[in-house]
Copies of this chain bind each other. A is one copy, B any other.
Amino acid sequence: METYNRILESAAELFANQGFEAVSMRDIAKASHLKAPSLYNHFRDKNALYQSCLKFVFRQHNAQLQAVFDSQVSYETQLRGVIQVSLKRMADDQNFRLLIQRELLQNDQQRLKFLAQEVMADTCDQLEKILKHLSPEADHHFIITSIMSLVLFHIQIAPMREFLPSGTSQHLDIHYLSDQIFQLIYQTLLPS
């Protein structure tokens, strides 16, 4: 693999797990089998390297999701699919999840806007169409953000479940979790 991408992969892993400040250029260099000064042949400085990491990890994240939106199945099944695929993505690509959550914690307007547009906007728009069909009257923004919340948090909290009451092994199973999240959301959309 080219050096450039190898650096990005190593750096993404480190930044995701330790955060921007806790990772040094020497750490990234070591993980990339380089010395620190070599990094500066590929990136202007540490900040530019971090930003490139974000773009690298956030890229093409919606390929699987788009397949769900394009499928010719009922809106109910599409909603179930969006939740399943998103949850699986967060579980499989922890760097993706962690970098999103670290960006959310930064509380920087510009970076929040980038995150919203780069990672969330497309999926939100498609999801809104589904929800409009399932329940025109519902608060779609609240439902979409609630789905984001549940998908992120139920993966994040996995290592903590053993310390909370009634946590069982099924709560680590993403199929079980996505069923539960789907039901929680779906019943809101039905006429009461």
Contact = CB atoms under 8 A, between A and B. Distances in A.
A102 B19 CA distance: 10
Interface stretch (A37-45, A53-61, A108-116): A108-116
Contacts of A154: 145-146, 149
Contact of A167 (B102, B141, B177): B141
Number of copies: 2
Contacts of A177: 142
Interface in A89-135: 98, 101-102, 104-105, 107, 109, 112-113, 115-117, 120-121, 124-125, 128
A140 interface: yes
Contact of A160 (B116, B156, B166): B116
A25 interface: no
A165 B184 contact: no
A16 to B, nearest CB: 10
Contacts of A72: none
A142 B163 CA distance: 14
Main DSSP-derived SS at the A contact region: helix
A153 B149 contact: yes
Contact of A142 (B113, B117, B171, B192): B171
Interface residues of A, number: 55
A185 B17 CA distance: 32
Given A113-B163, A146-B184, A149-B152, 8 more contacts: A21-B21, A104-B157, A105-B105, A115-B160, A145-B171, A148-B153, A187-B187, A187-B192
20 contacts: A102-B105, A105-B156, A116-B164, A120-B164, A124-B164, A125-B165, A128-B165, A139-B180, A141-B161, A141-B164, A141-B168, A144-B165, A145-B157, A145-B164, A149-B149, A149-B153, A152-B153, A153-B153, A184-B184, A187-B187
